[in-house]
Structure 1
Amino acid sequence: MTDPAPRRGAHAAPRSWLHSDAPRISLNGTWSFRLLDRAPGTPGGGGVLPAGEDPAAFADPGYDVSGWETIEVPSHWVLTGDGTRGRPIYTNVQFPIPLDPPHVPDENPTGDHRIEVDVPAEWAEAERVLLRFDGVESIYRVWVNGVEVGVGTGSRLAAELDVTEQVVPGQTNTVAVRVHQWSAATYLEDQDQWWLPGIFRDVTLLARPRGGITDVWLRAGYAGEAVGTGAGTLEVELDVAEGGFPVTVAIEELGVSTTFDSAADVGPVELEKVEPWSAERPRLYEVVVSNAAETITQRVGFRRVEIRDGLLLVNGARVLFHGVNRHETHPERGRVFDEEHARADMALMKRFNVNAIRTSHYPPHPRVLDLADELGFWVVDECDLETHGFGSDDWRQNPSDDPVWREAYLDRITRTVERDKNHPSVVLWSLGNESGTGANLAAMAAWVHSRDPERPVHYEGDYVGAYTDVYSRMYPSLAETAAIGTDGDTTPLLGCTVAEGVRQRTKPAILCEYVHAMGNGPGLISEYEELFEQHPRLQGGFVWEWRDHGLWHRTPDGTRYLAYGGDFGEVVHDGNFVMDGLVFSDDTPSPGLHEYAAVVQPVRFEWANKRLTVRNLRHSTDTTDLRLRWRLEVDGTVLARGTEKVPRVLPGRSARIDLDPGAPPVPGEAWLSVQAELAEATAWAPAGHVVARGQFRVAEATAPVRVLPLPAVQTGQPVPERLELGPAVFAHGRLVELAGVPVSGPLPELWRAPTDNDRGKAGFGASRPLPAGAAEADAALLASGGRRTTWEMVWREQGLHRLVHRVTSVEAGPGSLVTRGVSMAAQGRARLESTTTWQLVPTPGGERLALTIELAPSRGWGSVWPRLGVRFDLPGDVTRAEWFGLGPGESYPDSLAAARVGSFTASVDELAAPYSRPQETGHRSDLRRLVLSRSGVHDWLTLEALPDTAGRRPGFTLSRHTAQQIADADHPHELPTSDRTYLYLDAAQHGLGTAACGPDVSPQFALRPHARTLQLLL
């Protein structure tokens, strides 16, 4: 367990994962199982085994396992057995064991597995019998019929053990596997995910036929352009057992059949005309490789990967990665593969315009790459390697530069490349993640360059570009990203001298992680995308990450919820940092995913002078697969619809078509909405799926309501104890009833339940005014090993979550009421002054109640604000909202691309996104009209939002809970039972940013203290 060597025993050489007709037996299913709290034979191990029992006795076929439990393989034992088999542990950077390589604790959970398998008698004719493991965490010893055959490491890597001498054909054979949770290999597997021990991928017994085809590499090259057809070359590399020739390679669809009579005859197969493979047009050809003993069927895609003039090209065209980092995770199964779920997950990616996957931070189940070939993704295939925890001590003892670990590093990259080399979707090899740098990583890169010269090598930690082919970065600021992409820029790059920076600026640049999708967010997607389009060498990036890693768990009273770090009583953990995906753990797309899809949509529209410009930003697909629909809406009502034929627009080109929706038939605010849809169903979406949208203003509101004049108030007059103004009733100047039911407000509010980005790291700068004392507090935190100052800390220090309010005056006039007040925090001096004016005003539709709220800050506010608005407390039976404004999903200043102007309807619960850690959610921007309904009372209250003098309208949030209640809960089930509904009307909200891991809110989206006015008609 403490040996850094990657394996020992009868391991076969790594090879491709092939679709062969050779006999095989799946050992997936029910195994006998027992869990030990430490490894047998550990010094001082005590009573983990019956007294006097040999540690390997359980592997003997005659050993009595009738008293054992059972377990399904593949699985993680901590996710089985009703919580009695240990617990999951989540860490991001820190190790859950002492940092003492290569040693591990004596307390090392160990799972003993046994299964009986009947091996057919005809397997006696096999040349070899192999026992294949596709994934075991973290180290495992294997016995067959009581004989130890090997030890394996590399949790997410395949291993094949030669068990020919141990297997007895025609009889029942015993396979025993002992899995230890911790080993020396643990120090190489510090990926940001749950630690989940067990045999979690397939186990298979393989009969390798005499004269069989041991390995095949079909390198399908392409000499044409990205659009159309061209010449192809199928380079064939064969590893054939003795006596295995002749071997035939056939592509029936192309009328190709070539037979190689010997190893010396094996060479390329030239093809005059093939269709190329790309992520947009995943054209695959079935190749049959066969001999007398075995037939292998593989799908190939003809494509050419190259770096030329500083650009990464596939089939001669620049690739722009709109990618995600994909972990293997499921809320019940953990990393256990389910093909139906994986296919649905990847189809969801395609529907949301994701075109690339980085397999963070290990090779996925091999079928995932089959699906990537079929559905169409650019794939960065990453080795099973991360040593992140060593970075907390300046990379001291880091295995990446220690010769003792060199063999393990080379073993891991060899197994990655050899297993996955046949996949056209793989366009980059990645050495691993967050492992510092060193000679072992350089050796890995050198091996890859030698084995596969075509595909470039990626590794983010090689800042100076000593051994990698692309320049990769995580979470650079917008300014830094622009500097990376600008030719001739001499701004220093991270970790580089000027000369090294110049060299890195000759390479394609990829953000292997950016816009951290944790909680509500991420913001800034549009700003990054603008840079990707502006600078050709900036070839996109990969959002961290695709999916939340929540695991279903129960409270003591049986309440089921999605758990994150700390919910299983871990000694060390990294909290909800594991909940950072564009998709929630239950497969629900997040608002951030909708925003991402809108920003990166592959077709763009412009409309002017009754002509629509269609821009095709795709890599290799024209627009003939699309149809165009449009609609004309006035004040949120659709009054006209139509369809247009989409012209054939080649990738990178644009075309204009006539599109005249006609004059709006009625006065009002008119919008033209257009959308490009799939004309026919694909493997990932039905016909009619919307690929891209655009929206354009046709006409302004015909008679916009001007800012209402403030009423003349008769000062010195007593305010009636009870005052009625239209639908509102006031007691002693305070609102107590509205539209016939108890209501209170408007109460000034500066607090929002902090988002994960608000709780993220600090980074005070020009866009982040430094509050008094923050620098000292930040330094103290760092010195003590704590986290940097966060916006949540700053806001709480200022007391924004606990403002108290004081009415300074109440005055009444004819048809009006004016209340002035001050809102402050305990021990605070800064104040927010408010003036609330209610007045009855004549409108074309009759007299209505107008509400004007003026909010003005004093000097002395030390930072940006989370929000600036007011709160109304409404009856709990207010259950539904219909609004005209931006929707249908939530929107914030730096996350608006997915929003469009229209009329939308949703229940209160539907308005909120189910973030795993409760936080700010549900804000809808740029409100024109809001209609609230109560149970059984439709259209109970209508609010019309008027623009202020700058043309700005408020946003709204309708929630079951206050911002304070949401902020105090760590999980949704901890929110209190509510008998109220809360309406927030915000003059402004702070942006989202991506500071949970990445840049903060950009200056233009930061909410600095300033005065604003809200005006409403009720």
Structure 2
Amino acid sequence: MSYIEDMGPGTGVLPPRAFFTSDAASLSLNGTWDFRLSPSAAAAPVDFGGDDWDTITVPGHWQLQGHGSPAYTNVRYPFPVEPPFVPSENPTGDHRLVFDLPASWPDEPAVLRFDGIDSCGLVWLNGVELGVTRGSRLPSEFEVGHLLQPKGNVLVVRVHQWSSGSYLEDQDMWWLSGIFRSVTLLSRPRGGVADFEVHASYDHVTGLGTLSVDGGLVTVPELGVVDLPEGQSVSVAVEPWSAESPRLYDGVVHTAVEHVPVRIGFRTVEITDGVLLVNGARIVFRGVNRHEHHPRFGRAVPSEFAVADILLMKQHNVNAVRTSHYPPDPRFLALCDEYGLWVIDECDLETHGFGELDWAGNPSDDPRWAESCVDRMRRMVERDKNHPSVLLWSLGNESHTGRNLAAMASWARDRDPSRPVHYEGDFDCEYVDVYSRMYASHEEVDEIGRTRADMPFVLCEFAHAMGNGPGGMLEYRELFERYRHVQGGFIWEWIDHGLERDGHYAYGGDFGESIHDGNFVIDGLVFPDRTPSPGLLEFAKVFEPVRITGTSAGVRIASFYDHISLDHLKFEWVYEVDGVEVAEGSLEVPPVAAGQHVDIALPDLDVTTGQPDTTDLPTPSAPTAPLATGEGWLTVRATLAAPTTWAEAGHTVAWGQISITEAAPTNPISAVELVGVGDVLWLGPGEFDPATGLLTRLGDHPVEGPRLDLWRAPTDNDRGSDNPEERAWREAGLHRLQHRVIEVGAQENELVVRTRVAPPSWGFGMFADYTWTADGDRLRLQLDVTPDGDWPCTLPRLGLRLALPGELSSVEWFGAGPGEAYADSRQSARIGRFESTVDALQTPYVFPQENGNRANVRWLRIGDIGVVGEPVFDFTARRWTSEDLDAAQHTTDLKPRDRVYLNLDLAQHGLGTASCGPGVLPQYRLHAQKASFAVNFCPSMRT
């Protein structure tokens, strides 16, 4: 079994070449195969006959089809680190397919192509051993024409879960095995196109594209190019290709016997004065890292889901993809060409687990692995060289540094000088063309921007999108705009890698793995079912390519496109007063080139003497609920003027809000109601417990609370980092606060409840004074908090919690929405009037945590109970407590109670991105300090 532990590349394989289809015969071998699993290579049967086989779908992973279990690790190898050896307990899956050739199959040479086998495969056809595949996410081709027979061809592939190649494939993902990409039989006609390379550069000064092709004649009818011979070039006027305008020219590379359709994009990539340019213009990556994942199929992603990914990316202003941490299915790159995405194409290489050994024995610097490392680079470059979307070649990920990486870079640069080389681990930039870092803090990025302008700087990973977050994207964007050579980055990552199981999504440890990294695999901008998370909505707003802001003279429309003008957009506005639309229209925007802006006048809003015309506004039915205050907002949207390949006409690309009139002050409580004393205390519409001072009834509704609340169910970012906020909060006991009533003072028209709130075991706490007054149907509460003692940590939140009857399920509010928002992740929330249900307010993070906060709320109605701010508050409403949310491991652990738990907050601590990256920026940290907070309760409010 020495081939399993051979440190070289595969054996018997043909030289790598471009991925393409042609008019030559081909036969897909995808479908149902025979399958059997053995616990080890030694236990695998000697022969491949008999009927004792199960079936399996190819492409696919056997662990997701009832054979064995998935396992997730981020860094650590799940086997002893003893390269190149792997455990004797090495699950081995035999795959068998019997197939016939079509009657028209030509008598020509043929190759058998595997686009991906994890981790190593030994291949036989009709009893003849063809060779061994290594490099799981790279293609392998075998010459088979001489072995084919018209009927009853028997193809057998023995796949081993572990091999020497596993040491090079420690890529922060599920360990899943099998033939997970397509298998194809390809006729290779004599005199056909063996391989080809398209050279299509663009001169932004002359507007000319220069075309040449190695490997055949090329014809491009639209350009008048007919049978351009190999080795000759032609320069013609063209429209360049870019991610913003992915112009492709259809052509054919051909010989006398074979025709290969090609889609040609003209573009030039260069680095000038330390800046990465495409077609002469600086670009900024608004990117994502994309693992291939599907919650049922793992990395065997059906093509329609690859399309779905790209559509979602384009619709949310993503303009770039880093193919972490391996080349994707080759069809994905064709989609990037078509729809328009910049691509960093990354080699199938990561040795992260050696970091646990202080990089001793790391293959990146071991000459015994040199051939395999360079081979992996060669196979990627040759496969993907004809894609205009691919701007940079990446050597791999988290493999430290060493001579083999330098050799890979040298080979790639010699082979393809038209693309720069990327690799994050070369901090000294000895063999790369781009300085790359992951999770550098805002402060460090600013320092790099100020002090290191000799080469482009890219954050290949930043803003870890794990759970609720990431926070701080806005401040990263500001740095990308401040320094010309700081050219954006790639969010980690695109999708949560949850696997469907028992009604929820599973993560590390859910399959009984002895070594795993928990829910660290749940770190995407979209949920496992590809539903956008609030993080993706925030990304779309922060990185929108058009910025709409107010100026002293009107509206500024600024373009942050790199190449195209704003001609493809139209601009529409809506004017709302107190969240109700009173006028709408369109803005006439003159031409705006990439990187430019224009200022235009405000539309006519029928504003008289500074006040909006509110004659048509509905009047609140409850006169004591001050809902109509004359607060006017102009919302301007930039939408697609015509349909594109990725969205319909009218899709919103960007939006901005401008405050036109401020809200009139809320009518103050005049404190005219008298406090009643008896078995209970009552004040206006409220009844209180005379011992605790807690509100027990509001109008006809029983309630519990409100009381000071400082706790939230920690987010993944709260739990992250070397010194997590959660640890400090729990050590301080903030999750088990106790309340001591100092005084319940019933004065003539005021109820004052003085308390001290503190954790057990410690001497610090908070004095919390509740002052209640009433006026008609309104009950006003002012909360005054004063820290007592030396507080050792920040606060998760500062506000009130109360419980309401469970039947109060409808929610309406005027404030920021419609989605959740937090201190450092709130750009995507606009001011308006929104409706929901309590259940729909929840964000179903795969690992339950704090979620659903609505910010800057002027007023809230839940059922018919109203809350009015002085002037604003944040709220969450859910059918379980924060403690329930804290204890849950999966969404199925959350069981609705018969109450609605309502938090009304003055503030919450920010989110940050400390699950892997910097924590909460100073301006978004919540500290214990003296504060006041006031809200009005209305027991029966209609809007």
Q: TM-score range by the shorter chain?
A: over 0.9
Question: Aligned-pair distance for 1:171?
Answer: 2.7
* Equivalent residue for 1:807, pick from 741, 762, 777: 741
* Matching of residue 321 in structure 1 with residue 285 in structure 2: yes
* Equivalent residue for 1:279, pick from 213, 230, 243: 243
Deviations 1:425-457 (A, max 9, x none): 000000000000000000000000100001000
Cα 1:1002–1:34 change in 2 (3 A) is same
* Matching of residue 167 in structure 1 with residue 152 in structure 2: no
Question: Hey, what's the Cα distance between the residues in 2 that align with 1:285 and 1:531?
Answer: 36
Question: Hey, what's the Cα distance between the residues in 1 that align with 2:841 and 2:161?
Answer: 43
Question: Aligned-pair distance for 1:473?
Answer: 0.3
- Secondary structure (helix, strand or coil) at the match of 2:110 reads strand
Partner of 1:776: none
* Matching of residue 548 in structure 1 with residue 496 in structure 2: yes
- Secondary structure (helix, strand or coil) at the match of 1:729 reads strand
1:299 aligned partner, one-letter code:
R
Question: Hey, what's the Cα distance between the residues in 1 that align with 2:694 and 2:917?
Answer: 45
- Secondary structure (helix, strand or coil) at the match of 1:442 reads helix
Question: Hey, what's the Cα distance between the residues in 2 that align with 1:310 and 1:343?
Answer: 34
Partner of 1:942: 866
Partner of 1:223: 203
Question: Aligned-pair distance for 1:293?
Answer: 1.3
Question: Hey, what's the Cα distance between the residues in 2 that align with 1:320 and 1:118?
Answer: 51
Give the % identical residues.
51
Cα 1:945–1:213 change in 2 (3 A) is same
Question: Hey, what's the Cα distance between the residues in 2 that align with 1:855 and 1:912?
Answer: 29
Q: Is the 8 A contact 1:125 1:210 kept in 2?
A: no
* Matching of residue 143 in structure 1 with residue 124 in structure 2: yes
Partner of 2:484: 536
- Secondary structure (helix, strand or coil) at the match of 1:926 reads strand
Question: Aligned-pair distance for 1:834?
Answer: 1.0
Partner of 2:701: 741
Partner of 1:310: 274
- For residues 811-890 of structure 1, the aligned pairs below 5 Å read 811-841=745-775, 848-890=778-820
Q: Is the 8 A contact 1:710 1:837 kept in 2?
A: no
Question: Aligned-pair distance for 1:977?
Answer: 3.5
* Equivalent residue for 1:759, pick from 700, 704, 719: 719
Q: Is the 8 A contact 1:142 1:178 kept in 2?
A: yes
Cα 1:977–1:672 change in 2 (3 A) is closer
* Matching of residue 794 in structure 1 with residue 728 in structure 2: yes
Q: Is the 8 A contact 1:139 1:179 kept in 2?
A: yes
Partner of 1:766: none
Structure 2, unmatched stretches of 5+, are: 615-628, 938-943
- Secondary structure (helix, strand or coil) at the match of 1:878 reads coil
1:15 aligned partner, one-letter code:
R
- Secondary structure (helix, strand or coil) at the match of 2:857 reads coil
* Equivalent residue for 2:374, pick from 410, 421, 443: 410
Deviations 1:482-517 (A, max 9, x none): 11111xx3xxxxxxxxxxxx6xx3000000000000
Partner of 1:232: 209
1:730 aligned partner, one-letter code:
F
Question: Hey, what's the Cα distance between the residues in 2 that align with 1:711 and 1:803?
Answer: 35
Q: Is the 8 A contact 1:803 1:825 kept in 2?
A: yes
Partner of 1:524: 472
* Equivalent residue for 2:546, pick from 600, 603, 615: 603
Partner of 2:39: 37
Question: Hey, what's the Cα distance between the residues in 2 that align with 1:158 and 1:737?
Answer: 69
2:221 aligned partner, one-letter code:
E
Question: Hey, what's the Cα distance between the residues in 2 that align with 1:431 and 1:638?
Answer: 53
Q: Is the 8 A contact 1:473 1:510 kept in 2?
A: yes
- For residues 114-193 of structure 1, the aligned pairs below 5 Å read 114-120=96-102, 123=105, 125-126=107-108, 128-168=109-149, 170-193=150-173
Question: Hey, what's the Cα distance between the residues in 1 that align with 2:126 and 2:367?
Answer: 37
Cα 1:693–1:970 change in 2 (3 A) is same
Question: Hey, what's the Cα distance between the residues in 2 that align with 1:141 and 1:543?
Answer: 37
Question: Hey, what's the Cα distance between the residues in 1 that align with 2:694 and 2:301?
Answer: 60
1:987 aligned partner, one-letter code:
L
Question: Aligned-pair distance for 1:120?
Answer: 4.3
Q: Is the 8 A contact 1:712 1:813 kept in 2?
A: no
Partner of 1:557: none
1:960 aligned partner, one-letter code:
R
Q: Is the 8 A contact 2:673 2:773 kept in 1?
A: no
Partner of 1:204: 184
Partner of 1:71: 56
* Equivalent residue for 2:831, pick from 898, 901, 907: 901
Deviations 1:188-232 (A, max 9, x none): 00001101101000001111101111001001111125xxx8111
Question: Aligned-pair distance for 1:622?
Answer: 0.7
* Matching of residue 250 in structure 1 with residue 219 in structure 2: yes
- Secondary structure (helix, strand or coil) at the match of 1:214 reads coil
Question: Hey, what's the Cα distance between the residues in 1 that align with 2:429 and 2:217?
Answer: 42
* Matching of residue 925 in structure 1 with residue 855 in structure 2: yes
Question: Aligned-pair distance for 1:793?
Answer: 1.2
Question: Aligned-pair distance for 1:2?
Answer: 4.5
Partner of 1:726: 684
Deviations 1:307-341 (A, max 9, x none): 00110000000010000000000000111131111
Deviations 1:270-321 (A, max 9, x none): 1320000000000000110122211100101000100001100000000100
Partner of 2:632: 670
Partner of 2:231: 267
Q: Is the 8 A contact 1:677 1:691 kept in 2?
A: yes
- TM-score of the pair, normalised by structure 1: 0.88
1:231 aligned partner, one-letter code:
L
* Matching of residue 993 in structure 1 with residue 912 in structure 2: yes
- Secondary structure (helix, strand or coil) at the match of 1:14 reads coil
Range that drifts further, 909-918 or 524-533: 909-918
Deviations 1:810-861 (A, max 9, x none): 11123332211111111121111111122113xxxx5522111112211221
Deviations 1:332-387 (A, max 9, x none): 01111311111111110001000000000000001100000000000000000000
* Matching of residue 57 in structure 1 with residue 21 in structure 2: no
Partner of 1:778: none
Question: Hey, what's the Cα distance between the residues in 2 that align with 1:896 and 1:619?
Answer: 26
Question: Aligned-pair distance for 1:8?
Answer: 4.3
Question: Aligned-pair distance for 1:712?
Answer: 12
Partner of 2:940: none
Q: Is the 8 A contact 1:719 1:810 kept in 2?
A: no
* Matching of residue 618 in structure 1 with residue 553 in structure 2: no
Cα 1:791–1:309 change in 2 (3 A) is same
Question: Aligned-pair distance for 1:901?
Answer: 1.0
Question: Hey, what's the Cα distance between the residues in 2 that align with 1:514 and 1:272?
Answer: 41
* Equivalent residue for 2:883, pick from 964, 977, 1002: 964
Partner of 2:645: 683
Question: Aligned-pair distance for 1:863?
Answer: 0.7
Question: Hey, what's the Cα distance between the residues in 1 that align with 2:282 and 2:689?
Answer: 68
Question: Hey, what's the Cα distance between the residues in 1 that align with 2:207 and 2:780?
Answer: 69
Question: Aligned-pair distance for 1:248?
Answer: 3.1
2:699 aligned partner, one-letter code:
A
Question: Hey, what's the Cα distance between the residues in 2 that align with 1:752 and 1:401?
Answer: 46
Question: Hey, what's the Cα distance between the residues in 1 that align with 2:924 and 2:601?
Answer: 36
Runs of 4+ aligned structure 1 residues displaced above 4 Å come to 120-124, 708-714
- Secondary structure (helix, strand or coil) at the match of 1:57 reads coil
* Matching of residue 693 in structure 1 with residue 655 in structure 2: yes
- TM-score of the pair, normalised by structure 2: 0.95
Question: Hey, what's the Cα distance between the residues in 1 that align with 2:8 and 2:584?
Answer: 64
- Counting matched residue pairs gives 914
Partner of 2:619: none
Partner of 2:618: none
Partner of 2:520: 577
Question: Hey, what's the Cα distance between the residues in 2 that align with 1:67 and 1:2?
Answer: 25
Question: Hey, what's the Cα distance between the residues in 2 that align with 1:656 and 1:583?
Answer: 36
RMSD: 1.6
* Equivalent residue for 1:509, pick from 453, 457, 466: 457
- Secondary structure (helix, strand or coil) at the match of 1:17 reads coil
Deviations 1:36-83 (A, max 9, x none): 01113xxxxxxx35xxxxx5421xxxx21x2211111110000002xx
- For residues 413-562 of structure 1, the aligned pairs below 5 Å read 413-486=377-450, 489=451, 505-554=453-502, 560-562=503-505
Question: Aligned-pair distance for 1:235?
Answer: 2.2
